[in-house]
């Protein structure tokens, strides 16, 4: 997991450099590949010494000091030039700034560089998918293992897809079992040869219908091939003849007699000869110019030749026989050049990959072999997995696909790049129980299997050559501004696209157990919430699609998912009307906070307003439920609406709720804490598309709107208010709608807001006054509410000016508890301002004029969202396309597999890259200078176990080689000296080394010592050194011993023997008296 660039997800667009092309200063893959196993062990010790988890700063410091410093840069003007530029290393993978001079071999802030620091930050964020701010060693190691085990091509765009049974069925009647199938691309026909049949059939590969049946042989037809030079079809039969047929009229042209039954036939354009293999192992060559036998080679194969294959790359003819031998022949001399021996039983099928230069063989061994045609000794790989004898093997030209099949009808799809089995299909699921032959049809992306009848399997390519985002349709499209990526959801697959180029670079297949029906992005932009058709909800990593958290499921399909921005709350709804509020606790188990059953039918849409503390849901029961996010209770219900609600959105600064329905009606409602809450202030119909609507910022005339009133409205699909940061508008009071015919419209709310007094509100003041009113009413107070001696006029706060008869001050009608509220009627009471203006849009100048409209999709719009950084619209329609738009509905391009040439989404890649580098520079400034990693003490194996070198040291006879004793003391002494000599060593560095020495379990260490870590370390080092001082072999005299004692006492008196070094040395050299010796 720590080495090699194959670890992790490969990007298909630009290789290893695609991540930097998407705005990332460096890929975490380079960081992983630069860290060795020893350095990872050092990082692990940092985790252990910090209590098991590291923050971003601690993790970055631990990683950066383990990385090798970049190569030295040239000095002088060239160095100055490089300091202001960015160079690409590792084949364009990531940039590296030139570091200034420093200590060689020791990492520093300058040598690490912002580029590497940015890569470490990216790695940290990928591991910390929950956004908890810290990671553990288990999370890091699991991430590395997953990256290494995933393989390099698991999520690549060109990964092999799967085969599924085709909807096209063979309706023809077969008199006998199909013996052999051959696809002739020149004739675009499937040639079917049945058992004991003297005729062969031609089938249409598209519809699997019988095109014709050809008779002329006197025995059963065995094999065939197409002769390009003569534009004829050659067939062999049990009547010991080779017949040539006209491909158009299917008339017999020539007949060549043979001495034996020919089991297979192959044409070679180079030698312009027709080769055949007989039942006795003879290889024959025919001259079709003279229609005669040109050459014969016997004895090379001992049994029947079952298959021939011309390998054009090396101009050799391969043959497979029932004796298990495989030969490659020189077609000019008719002599075998190469022999491959690996099958124990007979071989029946050959295939060759021109792209990967591999020869594949299959037979009765239940395993197919992969050969290097230049190496004859042994096969490259054995494709195992079948439980019966193989009946064929094939390679799809231009792809890494290998297909093998056995006689039981089981197929296995292999990837040539790694020889992994991608799919197993057929077998008991096939219509026919037994299988005798199959053939590939590359132009039609399908294969035909022959048994009791012909069975077709289609290659499920998600593109199919169509100019769409996904041929299976798009359920949801999301934009992640943090990563500069789009995500599209289709069936059980999530695809990732680069925002700046619109190129697909990653496909996460089958990440959900059932079809995905709802999706939303996490607030931190690092994970994706997905709901499926079985009611399951799970959080998935955006890196590899791995399931991170599973939430409490619903009993039916998930219809909507939404997050509460700035919190860990997740809202979900299903088609049985249930709404749930759950918390994403990261690595801990999620919690269910609330569950609502106020809808009587399915929930179709959902909107959350953190500013208003409201959650709104609309459903097929034609009502809208609003929930209080403070106490997670139902706050209000707008019931008896005329149509099914399909879209909701809040404009919190003006206390507005917009809802659209299937009947083409859009209505605007006041919400809390406004005093006119739950009243409808405006509604309009979505009339058909007007002609010649200006694309610039102009108002559509009332005459054009009046001409289209007689037509029925168009069903809405979604509604969105423009965010406050919308650019290009005089006032950001703009609303967007999408309809069931693919139209996108932009509406101007400024006239309505001006005429009806819908201004921006002070939400905090309104909430306070609403609370005071409710409190006063609960206490039985009067209508006047006084605070600090001032009469509080609610209308003045809500509208921004005083409540006077001229401006129609609002009247507060019903404020009470939840039980006193009743469902609103279909047409709610209008507000006072609405009554003054008539309450409809029949005026000459409409209150909500249409600004812009565009035909965005060829079919209805499913969803559309606003994106930030940059501000844009993202729509996905039932026409299987995902389109991007500017705030003025200018097309920014379509997400297409073939890449839209008009794609121009304004994602600032350089700006995002520079922001990451700036963040990395701030990180380096925070963590300060990087000290080199501490040398690790040698591990001590537990008692009763043997390490790998111990096991490797055993001889074959059971004897063990002499083991070299490791000098543990010298190793930790070196580590201690490095810490002592380091002027920047911290207290924690000494503490780490001292803890390591204590874990050695040496009996030399005294009892726990007091004092600081450096003092204890110095005292322990001196004690160990004194013990290991070499002793004299001869006894000292009494005078010498006394002198040593006096020296020790003198040093102690001077304070120079703080750690008892001299006294210990004196005791070690003192002569041992006879009485002091231990008894023997």
pLDDT at 828: 42
If one compares 69 and 769, the residue with the highest pLDDT of the two is 769
pLDDT of the residue at 826: 41
- What pLDDT is recorded for position 509? 82
Is it the case that residue 386 has pLDDT exceeding 90?
Answer: yes
Task: Over range 658-662, report the average pLDDT.
Answer: 95
| Stronger pLDDT, 82 or 771, i.e. the higher one | 771
pLDDT tens for each residue of 204-219: 999 999 999 999 999 9
The C-alpha torsion from 727 through 690 and 668 to 593, rounded to 10°, is -70
- Give 829's pLDDT tier (boundaries 50, 70, 90): very low
- pLDDT of 787 > 80? The answer is no
Q: How far apart are CA 288 and CA 380, in angstroms?
A: 37
Q: What's the token pair of residue 539?
A: 């959080």
pLDDT band at 845, cuts 50/70/90?
A: low
pLDDT 10s digits, 390-449: 999 999 998 889 999 999 999 999 988 888 888 899 876 555 468 999 999 999 999 999
User: What integer pLDDT is reported at residue 929 of this predicted model?
Assistant: 80
| Mean pLDDT taken over the chain | 78
Task: Report the distance separating Cα 885 and Cα 676, nearest Å.
Answer: 35
Which among 400-404, 691-695, 998-1002 has the top mean pLDDT?
A: 400-404
- State residue 710's pLDDT score: 63
Both structure tokens of 428: 């008991």
DSSP 8-class letter at 701: P
Give tens-digit pLDDT for 490-519. 999 999 999 999 999 888 888 998 999 999
What is the mean pLDDT of the segment spanning 533-537? 95
Mean pLDDT of 853-878: 92
**By percentage, how much of the chain surpasses pLDDT 70?**
70
pLDDT over threshold 70, residue 946: no
φ, ψ (nearest 5 deg) of residue 982: -80, 115
Residue 280's pLDDT is what?
93
pLDDT of 1072 reads 56
Query: d(Cα 632, Cα 591) in Å, to the nearest integer?
Result: 14
DSSP-based three-state secondary structure for 992: helix
Helix (H) or strand (E) holding 743: strand 743-748
Query: Which of the residue ranges 734-748, 871-885, 924-938 would you say has the lowest mean pLDDT?
Result: 924-938
pLDDT of residue 138: 87
pLDDT at 1064: 76
**Is the pLDDT assigned to residue 279 strictly greater than 60?**
yes
pLDDT tens digits, 307-322: 999 998 889 999 999 9
CA 309, 312, 313, 317 dihedral sign is: positive
pLDDT at 390: 93
pLDDT at residue 1027, as a whole number = 60
Segment among 33-42, 221-230, 881-890 with least mean pLDDT: 33-42
Identify the pLDDT of residue 185. Answer: 93
Give the residue, 131 or 465, on which the prediction is more confident.
131
CA distance 131 to 473: 32
pLDDT value at 151 more than 80: no
Mean pLDDT, to the nearest integer, of 49-73? 77
- The DSSP 8-state label assigned to residue 488 in this structure reads E
CA angle (996, 998, 1002) in 5-degree steps: 120
Residue 99 contacts residue 3 (beta carbons within 8 Å): no
Better-scored residue on pLDDT, 9 or 452: 452
The average pLDDT across 1033-1053 equals 76
Given this model, what pLDDT does residue 842 score?
A: 39
The CA-atom distances, in angstroms, between 287 and each of 207, 263, 276, 338 are 37, 18, 12, 24
Rounded average pLDDT over 340-361:
92
Residue 892 has pLDDT above 60, yes or no: yes
**Rounded CA gap, 296 and 285, in Å?**
6
User: What is the percent of the chain with per-residue pLDDT over 90, rounded to a whole number?
Assistant: 46
State if pTM tops 0.75: no
Burial of 243 (0-12, 13-18, 19+ CB in 10 A): buried
Q: Which of 759, 1038, 907 is nearest to 22 (CA)?
A: 907
Q: Grade residue 65 by pLDDT with cuts at 50, 70 and 90.
A: confident
Question: Over the stretch 569-614, which tens digit does the pLDDT of each residue have?
Answer: 999 999 999 999 999 998 889 999 999 999 999 999 999 999 999 9
pLDDT the model gives residue 448 = 95
Cis peptide preceding 713, ω within 30 of 0: no
Say which DSSP state 1032 is in: P
């Amino acid at each position: 997991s720590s080495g090699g660039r194959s670890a992790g997800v490969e990007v298909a667009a630009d290789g290893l450099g695609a991540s930097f092309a998407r705005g990332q200063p460096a890929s975490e893959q380079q960081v992983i590949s630069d860290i060795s196993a020893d350095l990872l062990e050092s990082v692990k010790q940092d985790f252990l010494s910090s209590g098991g988890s590291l923050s971003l700063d601690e993790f970055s410091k631990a990683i950066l000091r383990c990385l090798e410093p970049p190569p030295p840069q040239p000095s002088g003007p060239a160095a100055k030039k490089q300091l202001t530029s960015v160079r690409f290393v590792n084949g364009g993978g990531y940039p590296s700034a030139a570091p200034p001079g420093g200590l060689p071999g020791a990492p520093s802030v300058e040598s690490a560089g912002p580029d590497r620091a940015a890569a470490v930050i990216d790695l940290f964020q990928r591991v910390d998918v929950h956004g908890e701010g810290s990671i553990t060693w288990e999370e890091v190691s699991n991430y590395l293992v997953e990256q290494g085990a995933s393989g390099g091509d698991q999520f690549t765009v060109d990964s092999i897809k799967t085969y599924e049974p085709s909807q096209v069925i063979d309706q023809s009647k077969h008199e006998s079992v199909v013996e052999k199938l051959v696809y002739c691309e020149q004739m675009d026909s499937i040639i079917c040869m049945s058992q004991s049949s003297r005729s062969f059939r031609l089938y249409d590969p598209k519809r699997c219908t019988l095109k014709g049946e050809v008779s002329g042989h006197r025995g059963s037809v065995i094999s065939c091939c197409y002769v390009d030079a003569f534009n004829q079809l050659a067939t062999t039969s049990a009547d010991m003849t080779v017949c040539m047929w006209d491909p158009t009229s299917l008339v017999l042209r020539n007949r060549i007699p043979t001495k034996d039954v020919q089991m297979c036939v192959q044409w070679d354009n180079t030698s312009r000869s027709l080769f055949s293999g007989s039942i006795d192992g003879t290889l024959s060559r025919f001259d079709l110019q003279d229609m005669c036998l040109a050459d014969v080679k016997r004895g090379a194969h001992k049994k029947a030749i079952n298959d021939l294959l011309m390998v054009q790359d090396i101009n050799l003819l391969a043959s497979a026989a029932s004796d298990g031998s495989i030969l490659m022949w020189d077609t000019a001399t008719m002599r075998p050049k190469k022999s491959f021996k690996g099958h124990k039983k007979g071989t029946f099928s050959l295939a060759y990959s021109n792209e990967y230069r591999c020869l594949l063989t299959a037979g009765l061994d239940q395993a197919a072999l992969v050969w290097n045609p230049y190496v004859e000794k042994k096969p490259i790989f054995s494709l195992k997995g079948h439980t019966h004898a193989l009946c064929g093997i094939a390679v799809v030209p231009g792809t890494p696909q290998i297909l093998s099949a056995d006689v039981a009808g089981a197929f296995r799809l292999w990837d040539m790049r790694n020889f992994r089995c991608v799919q197993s299909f057929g077998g008991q699921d096939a219509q026919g129980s037994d299988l005798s032959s199959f053939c590939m049809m590359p132009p039609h992306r399908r294969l035909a299997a022959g048994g009791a009848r012909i069975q077709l399997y289609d290659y499920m390519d998600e593109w199919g050559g169509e100019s769409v985002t996904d041929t299976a349709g798009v359920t949801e499209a999301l934009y992640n501004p943090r990563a500069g990526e789009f995500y599209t959801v289709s069936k059980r697959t999530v695809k990732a696209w680069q925002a700046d180029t619109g190129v697909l670079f990653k496909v996460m297949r089958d990440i959900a157990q059932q079809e995905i029906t709802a999706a939303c992005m996490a607030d931190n932009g690092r994970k994706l919430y997905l709901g499926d058709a079985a009611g399951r909800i799970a959080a998935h990593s955006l890196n590899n699609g791995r399931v991170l958290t599973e939430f409490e499921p619903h009993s039916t399909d998930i219809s909507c998912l939404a997050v509460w921005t700035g919190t860990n709350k997740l809202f979900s709804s299903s088609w049985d009307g249930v709404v749930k509020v759950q918390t994403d606790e990261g690595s801990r188990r999620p919690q269910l906070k609330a569950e609502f059953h106020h809808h009587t039918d399915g929930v179709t849409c959902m909107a959350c307003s953190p500013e208003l503390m409201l959650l709104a849901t609309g459903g097929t029961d034609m009502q809208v439920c609003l929930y209080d996010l403070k106490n997670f209770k139902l706050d209000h219900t707008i019931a008896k609406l005329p149509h099914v609600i399909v879209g909701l959105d809040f404009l919190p600064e003006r206390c507005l709720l917009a809802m659209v329905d299937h009947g083409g009606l859009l209505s605007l409602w006041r919400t809390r804490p406004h005093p006119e809450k739950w009243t409808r202030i405006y509604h309009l119909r979505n009339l058909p598309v007007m002609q010649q609507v200006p694309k610039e910022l102009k108002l559509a005339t009332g005459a054009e709107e009046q001409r289209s009133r007689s037509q029925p409205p168009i069903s809405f699909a979604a509604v969105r208010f423009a965010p406050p940061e919308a650019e290009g508008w005089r006032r950001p009071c703009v609303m967007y709608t999408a309809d069931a015919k693919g139209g996108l419209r932009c509406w101007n709310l400024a006239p309505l807001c001006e005429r009806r007094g819908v201004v921006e509100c002070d939400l905090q003041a309104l909430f306070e006054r609403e609370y005071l009113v409710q409190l006063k009413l609960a206490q039985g107070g009067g209508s006047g509410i006084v605070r600090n001696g001032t009469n509080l006029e609610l209308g003045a706060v809500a509208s921004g000016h005083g409540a006077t008869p001229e401006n129609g001050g609002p009247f507060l009608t019903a404020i009470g508890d939840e039980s006193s509220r009743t469902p609103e009627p279909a047409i709610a009471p209008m507000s006072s301002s609405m009554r003054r203006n008539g309450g409809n849009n029949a005026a000459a100048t409409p209150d909500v004029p249409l600004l812009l409209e565009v035909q965005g999709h060829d079919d209805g719009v499913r969803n559309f969202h606003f994106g930030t950084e940059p501000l844009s619209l993202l729509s996905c329609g039932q026409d299987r396309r995902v389109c991007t738009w500017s705030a003025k509905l200018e097309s920014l391009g379509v997400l297409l597999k073939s890449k839209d040439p008009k794609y121009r989404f304004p994602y600032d890649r350089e700006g995002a890259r520079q922001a990451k580098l700036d963040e990395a520079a701030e990180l380096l400034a925070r963590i300060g200078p990087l000290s080199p990693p501490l040398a690790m003490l040698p591990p001590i194996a537990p008692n009763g176990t043997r390490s790998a070198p111990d096991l490797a040291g055993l001889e074959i006879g059971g004897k063990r080689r002499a083991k070299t004793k490791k000098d543990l003391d010298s190793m930790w002494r070196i580590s201690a000296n490095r810490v002592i000599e380091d002027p920047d060593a911290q207290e924690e560095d000494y503490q780490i080394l001292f803890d390591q020495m204590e874990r050695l379990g040496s009996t030399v260490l005294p009892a726990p010592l007091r004092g600081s870590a450096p003092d204890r370390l110095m005292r322990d080092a001196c004690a160990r050194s004194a013990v290991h001082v070499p002793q004299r072999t001869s006894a000292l005299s009494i005078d010498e011993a006394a002198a040593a004692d006096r020296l020790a006492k003198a040093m102690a008196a001077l304070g120079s023997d703080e750690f008892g070094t001299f006294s210990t040395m004196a005791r070690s050299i003192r002569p041992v008296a006879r009485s002091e010796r231990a008894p023997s």
